[in-house]
Every structure is written in structure tokens, then in C-alpha cells.
Structure 1
Amino acid sequence: MPDAAVAKPPLKVLLATPRGFCAGVDRAIQIVERAIEKYGAPVYVRHEIVHNRHVVDRLKAMGAVFVEELEECPPDRPVVFSAHGVPKSVPAEAKARKMLYLDATCPLVSKVHVEAQRHFDAGREIVLIGHAGHPEVVGTMGQLPNGAVALIETVEDARVFAPRDPANVAFVTQTTLSVDDTADIVAALRERFPGISAPHKEDICYATTNRQDAVKAIGGQADVVLVIGSANSSNSVRLVEVAKRAGVRGAYLIDDASKLDLAWLDGAASVGVTAGASAPELLVQGVIEAISAKFAVEVTEVEAARETVSFKLPRVLAS
């Protein structure tokens, strides 16, 4: 009887590196875990700590309670603010209620908040390039008074934006955008406002950029690309768009191996696999195992960058 493995069609798996957790996500998850260890359950978390169902479900099982608004939290239990950042009104309300709160905002998002405040203090009109309704955008716009920040989502928005003083405009961006799309929007703004103030260093975070570069690196070699991440994860959705732009036959966003349709890989010689910045590595390995059930896989890591970034925990949790 022939070995079943021999009968499987060969398939190259190109594993994008870097992929999965970034330093900001890792820090945010650790803050919730350490808070539960230190203060006991329940620990409340305002909004999903990161946009990944598996991460959220695991933390729920440990004793985290996820809510959308601070008013849902009792005043005598700790509350953690998500990695996406919150409007200034949220910590102000927590202080007024004498709540113990821990801010898990990614330091790279906090950098954008500081930039926006600096531009506002200098009297500039501020443009935020981002996606309406995303919690990071809500948090960034909420750093300043209503009307101080104008949201631009597309090149067309940039072309019709009408500032009060065209000579006194600045822009900041959401950290999880498409690098290429954002460059087009910035180019449109610079064309109209040559003196526009830009960030000292690009706002799109290193992890978003690196993961998109890794997908570009595998996109030219893969027939199909699988992106592991949740549908509400901005950086994961952008990875699918980058893969499609690279010219692959198909690019799919899946939560985990259970959402994989192996028929997508029929006739493919190679498949690229990556994960958004909030997706655990365990899910990547699960997808590769699922592919191995039908194909004789040969896994090759394709490295676009090396990441050594790490962020410190809040002092109250560091000991």
C-alpha cells in the first residue's frame, strides 16, 4: 500500500517574516495578564485590548471583562485602556470616579497623540489620515477639541479638503494604514499645501510597514496568500490588500485554520502565509498543519526585516 504522504501534491509554503505580534500588542496583552495576576479577577478592559478574537477569548477565560464604555465598569475594579488609545475624556472620567486605570495604548500611537497636540499648540490646522470609526482614530481625534482635527480617508478627500489657512496645515496618520495608499494621500496633500507640516518620523508604525514589506516579498512568488487575523484588525485587512496588489491569484483573511478553504489552494504551486500584528503565532502553525493534511508542504521563511523593538510595562506592573 503506497505511503499516503507520497500521494499528496507538493506545495511550497512561504512564511512571511516578520509576522504576528508586534511590540505594542505584546505589551498590551501583558498589561491585562499582569493586572489579573496583581489585582485578581475581574479586570475590566475598555474595548478589545487588540483586534483578535482568539486573544480576547483567552483573556476572558483568565478573568478579563471587555466593555465598550467606562460607565460599564464598577469603580472598585481596575480598568485597562486598549492598545488603540482613547480620547482624553476617558482617563479624565476614570480619575473623576477615582478608578484604578492602566493605559495599554501602544507607545507609537501615543507618539501620534503628542504630535497632534504639538501642532494644535502651534496653531496649525490638523489633518488625520485614517479610517473613520476605527478606535485609534477616535482616540487620536479625541486628544483635541471637537473640530480641531479633520479626517481624510482617500486621495479624493485630500483633493477637496478646504483648510481655513492653507499655509498653516499639518498631518498625522493612523499607525496601521497601507504604506502605499498613505503615500498617495500625502502626495496629494503636499501638492496642494507645499508647506504642510509632516511628522518628524513616519506615523505608520514599524510593524505595519515590516509586515506589508514581507507580504510584498512573498507576493511575487506565491499563487495564493493567506493572512491570519480578525476582520476588524486594520493592519490585517491592509495585508490582504497589499497581497492582492502584488498580483497573487487570491488573498484571503482568515481567523484561524477552521476558516481555511483548502479548495483555494487547488492547482497552486506555492502559498504565502502571514499574520496581522495582533494574531498569535499558534494560529499560524495551526494553518500550516491544516494545509499539511492535504499537501506535502515545504516551508520556507522569507525575511523582510528583523524586529528587536520592545516596550516597557507601566511601573505599577513592572515589579
Structure 2
Amino acid sequence: MTEILLAEPRGFCAGVDRAIDIVEHALAKFGRPIYVRHEIVHNTYVVNDLKEKGAIFIEELSDVPPGATLIFSAHGVSLAVQQEAERRGFRIFDATCPLVSKVHVEVAKLHKEGYEFIMIGHKGHPEVEGTMGQLDSGIHLVEDAADVARVQPAQTDKLAVVTQTTLSVDDAAEILAAVKARFPLVREPKQQDICYATQNRQDAVKMLSPQVDVVIVVGSPTSSNSNRLRELADRMGTPGHMVDSVADLDSAWIEGKQRIGLTAGASAPDVLVQAVIARLRELGALSVRTLDGIQETIKFPLPKGLKNDGQAEAG
């Protein structure tokens, strides 16, 4: 008998919900096209769905016509991009996740107090580029513990750590330990920068993995938090596989397996999870059970000018 165990929580988080809502509300209010800098969230299905509705995804602001409506993705942007967008006169809505914005605010505040920064994150990820782009200089990126030895800050009296919000909690802790060993006076964030949704989904995989023979993660290859879920399953000794859609599901992964674990990254919609469940049933799964887990109730308001019916405008 093959059983599917669903991780709880899984799938969309409040920041992703808000980002997609911003694009859909902008399309409804201003009509197509709406321009979005970078993929609004890292999920192929979501991006293609919004393209069909009239969103155009761009990387260069020069590709946006004057007077157009522009939305910044959930990952955030650098100050240079913000300033250029304002200079070009676009109607701008910022879909940056509020938890990423919190990191930007902390960087700006501590910079005024004379701090330099060590940022734990993945080079080239748009969130990292956005956070590092809050300052002209003074942020040193480290991707692993070995990188910490190469950091050469101008001074060590005022040094603070910030992290990408979608990292592996365990990896970040290991790198932070290396930072503290080298720079004992380093200032840590008051609250961990890794977002609640990333933490909750990783905790759910830690609970799920020992109970199943294989873990399938629904998420796109570009999704940092989805990749971390697959890696976490592997690290816990349960084979992990990631699928962008049901078409990527390989029946060989589940042959002879009695229990199949299923989860989804924070940018993966439930429709993809349901499609995987339907395919697993075709392949012989007889039951589906959702594990106990944290129920997420956080909701982030839309920006001013895009209010929901019945929702107060929020800045």
C-alpha cells in the first residue's frame, strides 16, 4: 500500500501571495500590459500564468516604455534600480516581500551608524543583489564558511550580519558560527533574517523525511527555498527530488516505495501539488495524509493605490 504524506505548511507564503496579488490588481486597475522587473516570484507556472494575463517580465528598465506601470519583484531591488525607475517616470508598485524590506531598512539604519556588513547568501540571486545594492560599498558576501576567512572589512568594531531570507537554516547557522569565530564583536540581527515561511517549510521537511521513503519537492529550479527543501531531505538521509511540474515526475523514484513525502516551495502554487498527487494516484498511491504542522495566518497588505475591495489601503 502506497501512502502520500503531505508536509504542513507547504506552498505559497504571505509574501508570494502579496506579490502575485499586486500584479493581478495592477492588471485589473490599469489594464495590460503591466511590466515586472525580474520574475515576480521564482516559479515557472506563476510567471507563465501572469504573462497570459498581460504581464511582461523584463530585466532592463530601458525595455519599459515611458509612463508604463512597473512592479518590482518579491526579491527586492537595489537603490540604483529604484532611483532609475523614478527618474524614468514609471508608475511604480513595490512587491518586495516585507521581510526582505526589513533587511533593507536594517542595512540603511546601521550604515548610518557606521557599520559594515557581512551578508550570508548566494551570489547572483536577485534578493542578494537587491540587499547589497542598498549601499555603494561595505557589504561583504559570504556563500560558505570558507569565504569568511577571505573577508577584509575596513574595520571590525562595527560589523553586522545580514542573511538572504531563503537560506537553509542549518547552513546559515554554520556560516554564522564561522563569522562569530573570526569577528567576535559582530552584531547579529535582532530577529533571524531567514523568513518564518522558509523556516516553517524546512521544519516540516525535517518532520516529514524520517517518515517516508522519498521526498518530492514541487518548485522551480530557480527557487532558492525550494532547492533548500530538496537538499534538506537528502541531508536527512531520504532521497529528495524536485519537480517544476508533474511532467518532471519520474515513476522510477517511487517504485517499491511505501510512503512518499510531498511538499512545495514558498513560490509553488497548490494546483501543481494537486497535479502531482493525481499522478501519484495513477501510479498506485492509495491514500493521502497531511501531517500536523504550523498553520500560517500572516497576511501582508497591498500597497497604497491597489487596495482590495473592503481592504483598507496600506502604505
TM-score, length of structure 1 as denominator length: 0.95
Instruction: Give 1:229's aligned residue.
Output: 219
Deviation string for 1:113-157 (max 9, x for gaps)?
Answer: 011112211111111100000000000011111x22110100111
Q: State the alpha-carbon separation in 1 of the partners of residues 141 and 293 from structure 2.
A: 32
Of stretches 183-192 and 47-56 in structure 1, the one that deviates more from structure 2 is: 183-192
Give the 5 Å matches for 1:169-208. Answer: 169-208=159-198
Instruction: Give 2:155's aligned residue.
Output: 165
| Contact 2:116/2:160 (8 A) holds in 1 | yes
How far is the alpha carbon of 1:262 from its aligned partner? 1.0
The gaps in structure 2 that reach 5 residues or longer are 309-315
Q: State the alpha-carbon separation in 2 of the partners of residues 166 and 94 from structure 1.
A: 35
1:17 equivalent to 2:25? Answer: no
Q: State the alpha-carbon separation in 2 of the partners of residues 304 and 162 from structure 1.
A: 42
**1:252 corresponds to which of 219, 222, 241:** 241
**2:60 corresponds to which of 61, 69, 79:** 69
SS at match of 1:312: coil
**1:55 corresponds to which of 16, 21, 46:** 46
Q: State the alpha-carbon separation in 2 of the partners of residues 118 and 292 from structure 1.
A: 52
Instruction: Give 2:303's aligned residue.
Output: 314
Give the 5 Å matches for 1:1-319. Answer: 10-145=1-136, 147-248=137-238, 250-319=239-308
| Contact 2:4/2:285 (8 A) holds in 1 | no
How far is the alpha carbon of 1:161 from its aligned partner? 2.1
Q: State the alpha-carbon separation in 1 of the partners of residues 48 and 292 from structure 2.
A: 30
How far is the alpha carbon of 1:162 from its aligned partner? 2.6
| Contact 1:168/1:196 (8 A) holds in 2 | yes
Deviation string for 1:15-53 (max 9, x for gaps)?
Answer: 001000000000000000000000000000110000000
Query: Alignment RMSD, CA only?
Result: 1.0
SS at match of 2:149: helix
Q: State the alpha-carbon separation in 1 of the partners of residues 62 and 13 from structure 2.
A: 30
Q: State the alpha-carbon separation in 1 of the partners of residues 221 and 246 from structure 2.
A: 15
- Percent identical pairs in the alignment equals 53
Q: State the alpha-carbon separation in 2 of the partners of residues 166 and 89 from structure 1.
A: 27
Give the count of matched residue pairs: 308
Q: State the alpha-carbon separation in 2 of the partners of residues 290 and 185 from structure 1.
A: 39
Q: Structure 1 stretches (4+) deviating beyond 4 angstroms?
A: none
SS at match of 1:307: coil
SS at match of 1:198: coil
